[in-house]
Amino acid sequence: MNTKLTILGFNSAIPTINSSPTAQLLEISERHFLIDCGEGTQVQLRKAKAKFSKINHIFISHLHGDHCFGLPGLISSFRLLGRETPLNVYGPKGIKEMLETIFRLSETNKGFEIVYHELNSKNSEKIFEDNKVEVYTIPLEHRIYCNGYLFVEKPKERHLNMDEISKYPEIQSCDYHQLKKGKNFILKDGFELKNETLTTNPTPSVSYAFCSDTRYSEKIIPIIKKVDLLYHESTFLHDLKEMADYTGHSTALEAATIAKKAEVGKLVLGHFSNRYLDTSVFQVEARTVFENSFVPTILQEIYF
């Protein structure tokens, strides 16, 4: 299964008729992670034909409205759709108070458990791990406490070389799991078959870094080094660098500089100011520094 990132929204603070605030759906190793949840995210999920029941983990970068105001509505929809399984919400300290206050005042009976993972560390930390994926925070420099998120796929199992395995009747299907894990096989006569003769290399693992609202900061480079795909906000073009610094944002040129220095595979830009009617100008500026830079379209599916 290919890793897929669906761009649900890439606008900055104000939604438009044709675009929405920040929200992304990452499908990696059969997990479905929602990243940020601006206004209208649940509508965008519907348009993308996403299955709400598969979303068990939501990662919120910070508590500005264009990154989290869609969350109460989405959770209410989960309830109306009969959800019973727990929902994990990761975000800055205060996200629990914000949501629970809304639910209390609106007399919303959720009907399922919300497990809050409130964050306050200014250092990168592992916040999620299962047998296939790890997730780390990426501390960012915005006007309020803000994190990006790094998603890392764990090493995959090796592939069976059935042409070679078939030469040894002693190897049964019950042995395949150990072979996929890289174990050698010992024949009854004591001869040890090396794993590399019975298997081939696994499919390479992938990584994705989501860098939400932030000033230009080279502190993140060691964390995102050589990721396959990087999303980095680029609210302004570089002629408005002073405004970017003042508001806690980056320019397209700065996002591209981070991508180049971090040696990432591909850069996706976003969080564009509404002052720009033609977003292609961000791609043009970024490519002067990092050629593999792209401006997405709404509901675009990016495979990597």
Residue type, 18: N
Task: Tell me the C-alpha distance between 77 and 244, whole Å.
Answer: 36
> What integer pLDDT is reported at residue 7 of this predicted model?
98
Ordered DSSP codes for 52-70: GGGEEEEE---SSHHHHTT
Q: Taken in order 218, 224, 226, 232, is the CA torsion positive or negative?
A: negative
Catalytic residue IDs: 66
Give the domains, in start order, of the chain with CATH numbers.
4-156+203-303 (3.60.15.10), 159-200 (no CATH)
Instruction: List, for the chain, all residue ranges whose pLDDT scores fall below the cut of 70.
Output: 1
> Which is it for strands 159-160 and 199-200: parallel, antiparallel or unpaired?
antiparallel
Compute the radius of gyration of the chain from its Cα atoms.
22
Query: Which residue blocks in the chain are alpha helix, DSSP H?
Result: 41-47, 65-68, 71-80, 95-105, 162-165, 176-180, 195-198, 221-224, 241-247, 252-262, 280-287
Closest CA to 67 of 195, 229, 213, 221: 213
Q: Provide the whole-model pTM.
A: 0.94
> What integer pLDDT is reported at residue 1 of this predicted model?
56
> What integer pLDDT is reported at residue 14 of this predicted model?
85
